Amino acid sequence: MALLELKEITMQFGGLTAVDHLDLRLEEGVIFGLIGPNGAGKTTVFNLVTGVYKPTSGSIYFKGERIDGKPPYSITAMGISRTFQNIRIFKSLSALDNVKIGRHCKSSMNLFHSVIPGPFTAREERDIEEKSMEYLRMVGLEHKKDILSKNLPYGEQRRLEIARALACEPKILLLDEPAAGMNRQEKTEIMDLVRRIRDTLGVTVFLVEHDMKVVMGVSETVAVLDYGKKICEGTPSQVQSDERVIEAYLGRRARRTRKAV
């Protein structure tokens, strides 16, 4: 049984088909890359998996359970968490608080618990604090825990967002262009981090990325989207040599260039 499976997923916005009869299977423990030219529908796939959008047709299974149509927060609670293309950390909260919010679905204190103190709540709060620090440490931000997250440099904000997503203890982590806007040094660090996440935590990683070097360097399986359709899937080397992929990237670019001229 695949960990995550998309069957015949179609998503239409008005007349525009963003995702077109897409089938994807992610086995547990893989690092799976999804690439494609701009506007190919990669982020839409993430939004479909996390429940932000409800697919026009088709179905999505997670651990064998159908999840499309469920509210996003309960999908997260089942073990799918994500980062965003344009960083969406909680800007005026400290780095530690950001990660603590990631622990939301792994803790259960409700309104009454927070007002009426007890050994259970104290223990849970301590657990949240310790676990959150662990994830901060994992991304190398433990010394910046009290800094407001909006004051962190860009690369650290990205890593903080990953730590926040990990704090949910997901089975599968969706990373939306984690290396965007980073320099080479930072990109290498991110690739290391992704590998470490899978190797030490055993989390399956589902990656959307623009940067070929990053995707090819870290993924075990890569799928290519073009106009919402999957045109190719395989190992990085298989994909890199596929005609259709080259055409989608280069051919289009060539056509576009001609048009612009």
Footprint of other proteins (CB under 8 A) = 43, 47, 50, 52, 71-74, 76-77, 81-82, 84, 88-93, 97, 100-105, 107, 109-111, 113-115, 117, 121-122, 124-125, 128, 148, 164-165, 168
- The least distance separating other proteins from the CB of residue 85, rounded to whole angstroms, comes to 8
- Nearer to other proteins (CB atom), residue 118 or residue 251: 118
The token duo for 79 is: 């073990």
Could you tell me the smallest distance in angstroms from the CB atom of residue 70 to other proteins? 12
Question: Smaller CB distance to other proteins: residue 173 or 190?
Answer: 173
> Which CB, 10 or 107, lies closer to other proteins?
107
The least distance separating other proteins from the CB of residue 154, rounded to whole angstroms, comes to 17
Q: 163: which 2 tokens?
A: 């730590």
For 149-168, b/e burial (b = at least 16 CB within 10 A) is beebeebbbbbbbbbbbbbb
Q: Please, which residue, 41 or 236, has the CB nearer to other proteins?
A: 41
Burial classification of residue 10, based on how many CB atoms lie within 10 Å of its CB (0-12 exposed, 13-18 middle, 19 or more buried): middle
At closest approach, how far in Å is the CB of 153 from other proteins?
Answer: 17
Q: How far is the CB of 36 from other proteins (least distance, A)?
A: 18
Q: What angle do CA 115, 142, 176 make, to 5 degrees?
A: 90
Inter-residue contact 190 to 179 (CB < 8 Å): yes
Mark 36-56 as b/e (b = at least 16 C-beta within 10 Å): bbeebbbbbbbbbbbbebebe
3-state secondary structure of 208: strand
Q: Which is nearer to other proteins, 90 or 249 (CB)?
A: 90
